[in-house]
């Protein structure tokens, strides 16, 4: 899952980014409000962590402009201010959740996962397909209750397809959402990962739509 982290406190941003990466997220960091606004309009993110007190352009203004432009990605507001009026204003402007600093990193990760699940119409941390269950909290795949070992990149690819099951996902989309920008990868990295997953799970779990991408079909 690809996350845009909009936070101008360098130390806090580094801590959040490290925590999210350890939890399996791909994190893109920005500190300037104008740049945050542009990237949120021009690029696809699975969620945004948006600080209200950004330089150049404040978080609430960015939020309103995104929603006016029909940008629908889930947004979790971060702020050092705890006035209830501001929380109401953020929610009415289109925020999906609100977290007041200081906060525990475990709560941040839990809330982020929750807003992403809700955006996909999911109530549970478990995603089921065929005989498999993917626990997005534990980052664990099981087959009929038995754990299946996956590498971090295999998990990220499978989780992204599982979150979007029933939808065809292109190789470019997968590349952007499971690799950090500075991660060294070859031109066929996605094909290699898909091949490894098929050997582990069976060739009929991840289907190829030639010329379009890959799909995990909805369980009947």
Residues 17-46: tens digit of each pLDDT = 999 999 989 999 999 999 999 999 999 999
Query: Which residues have a Cβ under 8 Å from the Cβ of 153 and sit 6 or more positions away?
Result: 178, 179, 193
∠ CA 95-99-104, nearest 5°, is 150
Mean pLDDT for the chain overall = 91
Q: Are strands 26-30 and 2-6 parallel, antiparallel or unpaired?
A: parallel
Q: What pLDDT shows up at residue 219?
A: 62
Q: Is the dihedral of CA 156, 120, 32, 99 positive or negative?
A: negative
76 beta partners: 49, 97
State the pTM of this model.
0.81
Q: What pLDDT shows up at residue 186?
A: 64
| Interval 57-69 mean pLDDT | 95
Q: What pLDDT shows up at residue 124?
A: 82
Q: What pLDDT shows up at residue 220?
A: 52
% pLDDT > 90, the chain: 68
Confirm if 2 and 176 have CB atoms less than 8 A apart: yes
Domains, in order of start, for the chain: 2-119 (3.40.50.2300), 126-215 (1.10.10.10)
- Per-residue pLDDT of 144-203, as tens digits, reads 999 999 999 999 999 999 999 889 999 999 998 888 776 666 668 899 999 999 999 988
């Amino acid at each position: 899952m690809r996350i845009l982290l909009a936070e101008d406190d360098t130390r806090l941003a580094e801590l959040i980014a490290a925590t999210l990466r350890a939890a399996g997220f791909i994190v893109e960091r920005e500190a300037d409000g104008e740049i945050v606004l542009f990237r949120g309009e021009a690029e696809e993110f699975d969620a945004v962590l948006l600080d209200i007190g950004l330089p150049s352009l404040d978080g609430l203004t960015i939020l309103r402009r995104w929603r006016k432009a029909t940008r629908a990605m889930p947004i979790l507001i971060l702020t050092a201010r705890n006035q209830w009026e501001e929380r109401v204003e953020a929610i009415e402007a289109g925020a999906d959740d609100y977290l007041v600093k200081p906060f525990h990193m475990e709560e941040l990760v839990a809330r982020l996962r929750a807003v992403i699940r809700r955006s996909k119409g999911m109530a549970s941390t478990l995603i089921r397909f065929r005989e498999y269950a993917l626990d997005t909290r534990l980052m664990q795949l099981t087959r009929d209750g038995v754990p299946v070992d996956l590498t971090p990149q295999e998990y990220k690819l499978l989780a992204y397809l599982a979150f979007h099951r029933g939808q065809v996902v292109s190789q470019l989309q997968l590349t952007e959402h499971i690799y950090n920008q500075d991660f060294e990868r070859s031109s066929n990295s996605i094909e290699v990962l898909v091949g490894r997953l098929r050997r582990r799970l069976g060739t009929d779990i991840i289907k190829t739509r030639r010329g379009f991408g890959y799909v995990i079909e909805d369980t009947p």
